[in-house]
Structure 1
Amino acid sequence: MVSALFWGSIAGASLIIGGLLALFLPISKRLNGLIMAFGAGVLISAISFELVEEAVRTSAGSGGVAAGLFAGAMTFYGGDLLIDRLGGVQRKSSSGEQASGSALPIVLGTVLDGIPESIVLGLSLLSGEISISILAAIFISNIPEAIAGTKGLDQACWPHGRIMGMWGAVALLSTLAAVAGYTVFASAAPSTIAFVQAFAGGALLTMLADTMMPEAFEFGGKEVGLLTTLGFAVAFALRLLE
């Protein structure tokens, strides 16, 4: 459990780092879009090889992978729709459009994005060692998301302490999710673990298509495709080195 707590806190710290970078460094929307594209490529690789492929191997043909994949996609879709209706539709905007919304939907939306990947990080530790590619995917993808959200909240006149407090709370919840992924599923059947892996893969893939990749293209331009491919290649290389 200590290892899950440690690695979960490392992954969650990327949200705080992203927030601090946004507040104290002049990071342009274009640069953040390109970083986001790289992170998207890393996540796509992790979803493909660390989640879905691993789930297929673990399930041994039980059929739970397809169910988990679509359950994760529908869960994220439904949760995202609900949060939008609560006022969090612009929670990741970097243009200050969060001013009219409350903090709750913004926090809930960020948690919705981060919980599945944190649980998978904890699951990966059941093999006895951390998955570097999953850790890298979470860490790299969190930073541009936190930068975009922080810039928007800053323009919406949120106090800096409130912004960083929000990221700190989300980082803590993500850490606890990693611990939960490690402890709750430590003695779970292989079919259950496969379902959870596929569930997380479906949720993350839906998140990528719904928020991360559109914003990356909006601000990063044509080069986004190149950076996404580079991120995918780097993550795949890390997996081969494990």
Structure 2
Amino acid sequence: MLTALLWGALAASSLLVGAALAAVRPWRPALVGTVLAFGAGALISGVAYDLAEEGLRQSGALPVAVGITVGALSFYLANRAVGRLGGRDRGSGAGLPLAVGALLDGIPEQAVLGIGLASGDGVSIALLVAIFISNVPEAVGSSADMLTGGRSRRGVLALWAAVGLVCVAATVAGFSLADVAGPQLSGGIDGFAAGALLVMLVDEMVPEARSKTGTWAGLVTVLGFSLAAGLSQLT
């Protein structure tokens, strides 16, 4: 249990790293867009190799398909709720959809990390690195937008600390429930994360990166994908 807690904390700490980077100095929109584009590429790789492919290997198509559907609907509905509460582009509500995406993605990702630890497979270095590579740009982009919109540094850091704690708890929960989490459930969890990420990428992250970066967005996205895809082959 302690091992799961420590590894979960290490993985989730990348969220606070990203928030802190955005808080220590102002970030120009073009730089935020570049970071978001890189993170989008890393997330596309994560969806393809660390989530969908692994889920299909464990459980077959049906659990993954169900998980993708549930994850996609979850982000869509949560994003609409964020829009009603604060608006995506108005004031401190800006940046919140990326935080929602990080939460809906982080919970199943880190639950899978905990399940792997409990099963005796050890820590997936590729998954751990993928979490870091994707979390930092999400947190930087979201935090920069919230700070520009008027949210306080303390409030932004507190928000990401809360998201990080939930993700750590998901690692511990995955470790604790590993005995009852068979391959079907594990595949469904992978699918849930993939579905939430895909909707977040198309609706929020890629358009935001393109609007801030311009013509560089596609090239930087490919760079992020290439690096993350290469790292995914380490295991």
TM-score, normalised by the number of residues in structure 1: 0.83
* In structure 2, C-alpha distance between the alignment counterparts of 1:107 and 1:222, rounded to whole Å: 25
Distance 1:62 1:160, change over 3 A: closer
Offset, 1:127: 5.2
* In structure 1, C-alpha distance between the alignment counterparts of 2:101 and 2:61, rounded to whole Å: 32
* In structure 2, C-alpha distance between the alignment counterparts of 1:12 and 1:200, rounded to whole Å: 15
- Asked whether the 8 Å contact 1:185–1:193 carries over to 2, the reply is no
- Asked whether the 8 Å contact 2:75–2:104 carries over to 1, the reply is yes
1:241 partner SS: coil
Q: Does 1:136 align with 2:135?
A: no
Output the aligned Cα RMSD: 2.6
* In structure 2, C-alpha distance between the alignment counterparts of 1:53 and 1:107, rounded to whole Å: 25
Offset, 1:4: 2.3
2:113 maps to amino acid? L
Q: Deviations over 1:134-184 (max 9, x none)?
A: 222322222233223323333344332232222222211121122222322
* In structure 2, C-alpha distance between the alignment counterparts of 1:57 and 1:49, rounded to whole Å: 11
Aligned residue among 116, 131, 139 for 2:108: 116
Distance 1:113 1:190, change over 3 A: closer
Aligned residues: 233
- Asked whether the 8 Å contact 1:116–1:203 carries over to 2, the reply is no
The residue that corresponds to 2:144 in the other structure is 151
Identity within the alignment, %: 42
Distance 1:188 1:147, change over 3 A: closer
Q: Does 1:178 align with 2:178?
A: no
Offset, 1:35: 1.5
Q: Does 1:209 align with 2:178?
A: no
* In structure 2, C-alpha distance between the alignment counterparts of 1:160 and 1:54, rounded to whole Å: 38
* In structure 2, C-alpha distance between the alignment counterparts of 1:226 and 1:179, rounded to whole Å: 37
Structure 1: tracts of 5 or more residues without a match: none
* In structure 2, C-alpha distance between the alignment counterparts of 1:152 and 1:239, rounded to whole Å: 30
Offset, 1:107: 7.0
Q: Deviations over 1:65-87 (max 9, x none)?
A: 22222121112212222232222
Q: Deviations over 1:9-40 (max 9, x none)?
A: 12222222222211223432212211211111
The residue that corresponds to 1:15 in the other structure is 15
Offset, 1:52: 0.9
- Asked whether the 8 Å contact 1:15–1:146 carries over to 2, the reply is yes
Structure 2: tracts of 5 or more residues without a match: none
* In structure 1, C-alpha distance between the alignment counterparts of 2:223 and 2:181, rounded to whole Å: 36
The residue that corresponds to 1:198 in the other structure is 191
2:30 maps to amino acid? R
Offset, 1:105: 9.1
- Asked whether the 8 Å contact 2:108–2:193 carries over to 1, the reply is yes
